[in-house]
A and B are shown apart, each in its own frame.
Chain A
Amino acid sequence: EVQLVESGGGLVQPGRSLRLSCAASGFTFDDYAMHWVRQGPGKGLEWVSSISWNSGSIGYSDSVKGRFTISRDNAKNSLYLQMNSLRAEDTALYYCAKDVYAARHAAGRLNYWGQGTLVTVSS
C-alpha cells in the first residue's frame, strides 16, 4: 500500500524558515517524480514544486521561487521542502504527492497524496 506521510509543519514567524519532510513507502521511491502542493485555509490547490526521480529536473511556482528548495533522498525514501523567508501567504496545508512518471513530464499526474502538514506563518 502506498503511503506518504508529511511532517515538519507548525507555527513560524514571518521571515523564518521551516523544513518539511515526506516519508514514502509501499512503492519504489526512486522510480517516480514527486510534488509538493499546498492549500491555503478555505482556498484551492496550488502546485508548489516538483522534482524528478534523480533530482536532475526541478521546478517551482513563481510564488515560491527563490525562497523554497525541494530535494529528495532516495536512500531514505524521503522528500523535503526547505522553506525560507516565510510569509503570511505561505500559510497552508502542504501535501506531498507522487507522480506516475519518473521525469517531470507534461503528461504527469498525481496519483497518490499524503494527508498534509499544516504550516502557519504568523507573528
Chain B
Amino acid sequence: ILNVEQSPQSLHVQEGDSTNFTCSFPSSNFYALHWYRWETAKSPEALFVMTLNGDEKKKGRISATLNTKEGYSYLYIKGSQPEDSATYLCAAARGTYKYIFGTGTRLKVLA
C-alpha cells in the first residue's frame, strides 16, 4: 500500500504568520496529488489537484507545490487568519480511482 505522510501533525501559529506543511508520498506510480481542507464538524473540501512535476497552484492566500520525482508536496498559507484553522489533508491517487490519504495537519491560528 502506498504510504502518505503529513507533517507536522499539528501546528499553532499567530494570526498574520505564514506557515507551510509537507505531504510525502512514494514517487513511483504517481498519478495525482490532492489537497483538502477539513473544518471541524464539516466535510473535506478540495483545495487543489496537482498532476505535473513542478506544478504550482494558488487560491487566494493558499498555494501548493509538487515534486513528483522526490515525492513531496508543500502547502503554504500566507498571512494566516483564524478562519484558516482546519485540518489539511493530502491524498495520493494511484491511477484515476484509488486514493490514499494522509492523517492530516491540524492548524490552529490564534487571534
Q: Do A and B bind each other?
A: no
**B contact set with A: CB distance below 8 Å:** none
**A contact set with B: CB distance below 8 Å:** none
